[in-house]
């Protein structure tokens, strides 16, 4: 009798980029293995920092998905306009061309794919993951707008791969006592609880 293959969740963050010289999701990718280990209740985690470049979509992220073939993907990224953690429920077929990536480049065209497909819905359950994030005291909401930058593009690609996927936007770190955005420890705890819930649902 053949032993059942363990399930794998790919967890990613991003490197810094113009407008975000400190990306808390890069730190998350260093800290989460210490908090969760590489296995959780029979589910294996693989943590990876992605380059915040349009070229990286194919050169890094697509190759990583193809090589690993995970059972689920949870992407993390930062959005300086957010005040809470946002669980993204969809991606759109658009790419902003006026905002350069970390290499100083913009996408070749204003859409992600040459097709009539306008949106793709996240394929991991958003509400249970949002609820899990909130159990640690983090403000967390569902969002229908992942933007038109690389966060949206990464979610679009991962959904299109057929692997159950979702994207979690975290706010930039607060800049003083009067800044109501959650601090890094709150974001980290929310990520731990969210990923434990994702693992529980894969078992």
Q: Outline where 39-84 has alpha helix (H).
A: 56, 63-68
Q: In the predicted model, is pLDDT for residue 1 greater than 60?
A: no
Closest CA to 193 of 121, 87, 77, 89: 87
- Structure token pair of residue 6: 């363990």
Place of tokens 């969740």: 9
Predicted local distance difference test score (pLDDT) of residue 79: 95
Residue 89 exposed, middle or buried by CB count within 10 Å (0-12, 13-18, 19+): buried
Query: Does the pLDDT of residue 143 top 70, yes or no?
Result: yes
**CA 166 to CA 160: how far, in whole Å?**
12
Q: How far is CA 172 from the centre of its chain?
A: 14
Contacts of 40 (CB under 8 A, 6+ apart): 195, 196, 199
What is d(CA 149, CA 99) in angstroms, rounded to the nearest whole number? Answer: 8
pLDDT score, position 4: 60
3-state secondary structure of 97: coil
**Catalytic residues, which ones?**
88, 151, 169
Is the model's pLDDT at 41 over the cut of 80? no
Rounded Cα distance, 158 and 72, in Å: 9
Q: What is the mean pLDDT of the chain?
A: 94
Helix (H, G, I), strand (E, B) or coil at 92: strand
Residue 187's pLDDT is what? 97
Portion of the chain with pLDDT greater than 90, in percent: 88
Radius of gyration for the chain, computed over Cα atoms and rounded to the nearest angstrom: 16
Compute φ and ψ for 192, nearest 5 degrees.
-60, -50
- CA neighbor of 172 nearest in space, from 95, 104, 85: 85
Predicted TM-score (pTM) of the model is 0.95
User: For residues 141 and 52, what is the distance between their CA atoms, to the nearest angstrom?
Assistant: 24
Inter-axis angle of helices 24-36 and 184-202, nearest 10: 60
* Residue bearing the bigger pLDDT, 41 or 145: 145
Residue 2 pLDDT: 45
Q: Give pLDDT tens digits for 74-115.
A: 999 999 999 999 999 999 999 988 889 999 999 999 999 999
Residue 176 CA to residue 115 CA, distance in Å, equals 45
Nearest 5°: the CA angle 154, 155, 156 is 90
């Amino acid at each position: 009798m053949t032993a059942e293959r363990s399930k794998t969740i790919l967890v990613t963050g991003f490197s810094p980029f113009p407008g975000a010289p400190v990306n808390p999701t890069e730190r998350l990718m260093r800290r989460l293995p210490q908090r969760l280990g590489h296995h959780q209740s029979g589910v294996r985690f693989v943590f990876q920092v992605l380059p915040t470049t349009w070229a990286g979509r194919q050169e890094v992220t697509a190759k990583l998905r193809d090589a690993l073939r995970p059972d689920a993907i949870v992407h993390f990224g930062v959005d300086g306009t957010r005040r809470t953690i946002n669980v993204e429920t969809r991606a759109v077929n658009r790419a902003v061309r006026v905002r350069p990536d970390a290499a100083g480049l913009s996408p070749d065209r204003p859409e992600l794919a040459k097709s009539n497909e306008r949106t793709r819905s996240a394929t991991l359950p958003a509400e249970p993951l949002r609820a899990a994030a909130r159990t640690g005291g983090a403000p967390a909401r569902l969002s229908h707008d992942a933007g038109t930058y690389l966060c949206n593009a990464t979610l679009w690609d991962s959904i299109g791969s057929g692997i159950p996927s979702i994207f979690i936007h975290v706010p930039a770190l607060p800049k003083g006592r009067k800044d109501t955005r959650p601090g890094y420890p709150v974001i980290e705890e929310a990520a731990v609880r969210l990923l434990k819930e994702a693992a529980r649902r894969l078992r």
